[in-house]
Amino acid sequence: MRSFALILTALMLLGSCGMFRQFKEDRTETKRKKAERKEAFAQAQSADGTATEMAPTDPIQMQASDSLLISYERSPCFGRCPVFKIKVYESGFTTYQGVNFVEYMGYFYTRIDAEKLQQIHAAITRSDFFNLEDRYDNEKITDLPSRIYQVDAMGMNKRIIARYEAPEALNTLGQEMEAIFKGIPWTAFTGDH
């Protein structure tokens, strides 16, 4: 009876080794693909926030001189807050990085049409963005996600970090950005570009 238990244990260990090996292979492949997407995403951006010629060329074309219109991101909290970053360029070329608790995880891109670009310009104008404070925060409160906005429009450039008691106009800008991109088809960055 004892030898049967040893044989059964040995078989279970061998089976779990195979499953563990498969898990490791799958994990390695996932990391490789993620690294490729990250590399492609990095090539699509330059240090000053403008796109470079390394951006995907098919099916979406982007000009090297394209400039950033708005960057909108949500940071993590201690819970299940969505974490992502959207960058919209004047041409309509848009990048998305999904980090946590979002439908699209990884690096993606799309091109939005002139109507959606106009909606974004109108939302920026309605928010009176350039007359708002640079920071809305309370350092005594720790578990709050941030919404970080950077806008380069109307000849001005401004960055706002909103974590605590942001004005309604700024919250509305974030909601409008999320609504504009809800249901947009994204294309994953791959190493093919």
The pLDDT tens digits of the residues spanning 14-52 come to: 555 555 566 556 556 655 655 665 565 455 444 444 443
Domain count, the chain: 1
pLDDT in the model for residue 99: 97
Its sign, for the CA torsion 46, 174, 170, 125, is: positive
In-domain check, residue 8: no
Residue 159 belongs to a domain with what CATH number?
3.30.1560.10
In-domain check, residue 90: yes
Domain residues for 54?
Answer: 43-188
In-domain check, residue 182: yes
pLDDT in tens, 88-132: 999 999 999 999 999 999 999 999 999 999 999 999 999 999 999
Written as six digits, the tokens of 60 are 């979406």
In-domain check, residue 106: yes
In-domain check, residue 18: no
In-domain check, residue 35: no
In-domain check, residue 89: yes
In-domain check, residue 13: no
Helix (H, G, I), strand (E, B) or coil at 188: strand
Residue 58 C-beta-side C-alpha neighbours within 13 Å: 3
User: pTM above the 0.85 mark?
Assistant: no
